[in-house]
Structure 1
Amino acid sequence: MSNSLENFSKPAQSGDTYVLAPLPYADSALEPVISAHTLSFHYGKHHKAYVDNLNKLVAGTPFAGQSLEQIIAETSGKADKAGIFNNAAQIWNHMFYWHSLSPNGGGEPPSVLKQKIEAAFGSVDNCKQELANAAVTQFGSGWAWLAQDGDKLVITKTTNADSPLTGNLRPLLTVDVWEHAYYLDYQNRRPDYVKAVLDKLINWEFAAANLVG
């Protein structure tokens, strides 16, 4: 499949049942920044649990078979649908996170993305620093995002399962700062995990593919 945001509006499904989409690389492909041990738990336990939970929650409801983006849009901010929202959004967020990383990541962004980054932040290094700051200062569980707001790029952070999708922003890439994303490898050293991801794994090509306009 092509490497862009549109892949995630239609999750892997078998009829009305959501299935755990495969990782875009082997469990060990992100080592030494993220170990195969961490990835096996993060993907095989946490991500899978969201898929299993969503299937249970939407079975026999009008949400069954809808795209994740449809479910997120229709359940966001509704207290009585919080369980459905949280699990659907976490499936989407994790799928997006896996593609925001690459064994050959880091380095320089493609020129079209680099130009927008420089226009918004002054330099790629400034962008990385602001993204790292968002990731490190996110209190508790959540996500740091590079997103597109109309013609400009912005950095934002969200709590728990929230994402820029609920704020009319277009996500370009994300860094997961839930503890299960890094604790087995880095313990409480979230800044070290974030720096390593941004320096060595961040998938600028994926972000560039997500640009519009």
Structure 2
Amino acid sequence: MTSIAYFRLYWKFLEPEQGNYRWELIDKALATAPQLADKSIDELLADNLAIVPESIRTAVRNNGGGHWNHSLFWEIMGPKKGGEPTGLLAKAIQRVFGDFNQFKEKFAAAAMGRFGSGWAWLIIGQNGREIISTPNQDNPLMENKFAVIGLDVWEH
């Protein structure tokens, strides 16, 4: 579980203008729901935002989802990151998808198949490991699934 304070710090250095703007929107929304002040971003987004009042759900979905998605995205991007996986992830990909090239083809198809803005994900859900795509800033947490890899397929 990742705290909201961690995400604030992360965005302060990576995308200060965008981060401040999004946090202003999240803070404004959460000001109307003080019972959520001590909840983590994971808890807010889980189970399709079940604990978030309907009146602020869209703001938390769009802005909180955006923070969570990009924070994972930036964790897996960077120097000396990427490439073909090793260890348990490599074995799981081979078992589920056949090999890394087949995984890449299916992952690319999920990304390219997303019309408009969204994300492609390698997730762990009730059916095991699978590739899914979500619209806008939605993410696997909202469906009680665990994200392993996320790819931003927004048209920016």
Query: How far apart, CA to CA, are the structure 1 residues paired with 2:45 and 2:10?
Result: 18
Call closer, same or farther: CA 1:56–1:79 in 2, change over 3 Å.
closer
Question: Which residue among 71, 93, 113 is the counterpart of 1:95?
Answer: 71
Is 1:50 equivalent to 2:43 in the alignment? Answer: no
Is 1:11 equivalent to 2:10 in the alignment? Answer: no
Q: Which structure carries more helix by proportion?
A: 2
Q: Following superposition of structure 1 onto structure 2, how do residues 1-213 of structure 1 map, counting pairs within 5 Å?
A: 6=1, 9-12=2-5, 19-21=8-10, 43-61=15-33, 62-73=35-46, 76=49, 79-80=54-55, 81-150=57-126, 152-180=128-156
Q: How many residues align?
A: 152
Aligned-residue offset at 1:70: 1.5
Deviations 1:7-41 (A, max 9, x none): xx32326xxxx724158xx9xxxxxxxxxxxxx7x
Call closer, same or farther: CA 1:103–1:68 in 2, change over 3 Å.
same
TM-score (norm 2): 0.83
Structure 2 runs not aligned, ≥5 long = none
Matched residue SS, 1:175: strand
Structure 1 runs not aligned, ≥5 long = 1-5, 27-39, 181-213
Call closer, same or farther: CA 1:179–1:119 in 2, change over 3 Å.
same
Aligned-residue offset at 1:109: 0.7
Query: How far apart, CA to CA, are the structure 1 residues paired with 2:30 and 2:125?
Result: 31
